[in-house]
Amino acid sequence: MSTAPASPAPAVGQGDSSEEHHRPTLGDAGRKLLAGEMGSLRVLIVLAIIWAIFAIANDRFLTAINLTNLALQIAAVGTISVGVVLVLLLGEIDLSVGAVSGLASAVVAVLNVKNGWNPYLAIVAGLLVGTAIGLFQGSMSTRLAIPSFVVTLAGLLMWQGAQLKVLGETGTVNVSDPAITNIAGTFLAPWVGWAVAILAIAAIVGTALLNLQRRRAAGLEAESMLGLTLRSGAATIAILAAVVVMNSDRGVPLALVILVGICAAVQFMLAKTRFGRHIYAVGGDAEAARRAGIRVTWLRTTVFMMASTLAAAGGIIAASRLLAVNQSSGGSDLLLLAIAGPVVAGVSLFGGRGTAWAALLGALVIGSISNGMDLLALQSSVKFMVTGAVLLAAVSLDALARQRRVSAGGT
């Protein structure tokens, strides 16, 4: 990968002659794909294979009604996964996200149903419970230099206990307030779905073209028109196809729009703001980041707060979909799936690599496997083993990609 020092490669900064600069070619793209640097494309291929397998195995898998169900199923875990992505980017882990989502949903349900709180106030209270937990766990981990693995493992137990306490003796609270149930129960009218899709496409194509134009104006090497067309085109087709399919059933679920919106907002923060750049820096080399003047402790704590808040949001979406909160809300395999998703979609466990979109794509992969195996009426035993195998395969790819990078950088 690395260029030989003596090779007459085009020099950096040869003034205005942008033709001299290295342009990405299709060959490069292939190599990058193999090296795991294009995690999104890799996961899309994996997703296509999974969908093809289930479509062949069961003709109900690729129907509008099932795909809309799939979208609803992944909304909660996908939202939790966005927070997990942030924590993983730091090279940390948060094992408490499942328990936090359960506790937050319990708080919302109890405040609204038993204490008669305004539903919106109850939701805000639930989110704040998440934020406070993140502040607590983040501070413990950073100030006392305890590995986040241990702090959040302790948190997992504590918040599960707190959830049982909050729910009280009944153990189950049914949620009926429309303000809460509408989060997952709302489907956009067809024309609203189209309007949202067109806005999203306009935003994608618009920013891509604007960026291209600004880079050209500045005399910098710009992405080739082909690559730009391919990327924007793929996103456009995916959005249009999703809207066509879901509109032929009940419409685009609001919960999916919320998940995509959260992914887009977090990705904007990661890619465009200094805070996001510093998250990657701390995940890459915390000591280098500290010496560059980044407040590492503050940043880590803030990220843990974001992750716990997103976990709480995911819990509220789950409560909205299931119309109830009970003692097992946020338990079971939710935590593992919320972490497996981003890792499957190319977020490195070693920190510093990945995007917020991995939360959506990973939830799609994991959700598709689960959904498809449910359609085939497979037992839980098989489901767990298959999901575990997919996760292990994904982590192996990550480790292999890392080894390749290390050996490439070593010479």
Report the C-alpha gap between 261 and 345 in whole angstroms.
18
What letter does residue 18 receive in the DSSP assignment? Answer: G
Pick the closer one to other proteins by CB: 215 or 231. Answer: 215
Pick the closer one to other proteins by CB: 169 or 287. Answer: 287
Report the C-alpha gap between 280 and 152 in whole angstroms.
21
Pick the closer one to other proteins by CB: 165 or 291. Answer: 291
The burial of 168, by beta-carbon neighbours within 10 Å (0-12 exposed, 13-18 middle, 19 or more buried), is given as exposed
CB of 406 to other proteins, least distance (A): 8
CB of 251 to other proteins, least distance (A): 34
With a CB cutoff of 8 Å and minimum separation 6, the contacts of 176 are 113, 323
Pick the closer one to other proteins by CB: 134 or 351. Answer: 351
Pick the closer one to other proteins by CB: 145 or 406. Answer: 406
Report the C-alpha gap between 394 and 388 in whole angstroms.
10
CB of 18 to other proteins, least distance (A): 11
CB of 62 to other proteins, least distance (A): 37
Binding site for other proteins (CB under 8 A): 1-3, 5-6, 9-15, 21-22, 214-215, 218-221, 272-274, 277-278, 280-281, 283-285, 287-289, 291-294, 351-353, 405-406, 408-409, 411
Report the C-alpha gap between 404 and 411 in whole angstroms.
12
CB of 207 to other proteins, least distance (A): 11
Report the C-alpha gap between 187 and 257 in whole angstroms.
10
Pick the closer one to other proteins by CB: 211 or 332. Answer: 211
Q: What is the DSSP string of 136-160?
A: HHHHHHHHTT--HHHHHHHHHHHHH
CB of 145 to other proteins, least distance (A): 20
Cβ atoms of residues 190 and 68 within 8 Å = no
CB of 303 to other proteins, least distance (A): 16
Report the C-alpha gap between 35 and 39 in whole angstroms.
9
C-alpha angle 93/99/102, rounded to 5°? 140
Pick the closer one to other proteins by CB: 381 or 411. Answer: 411
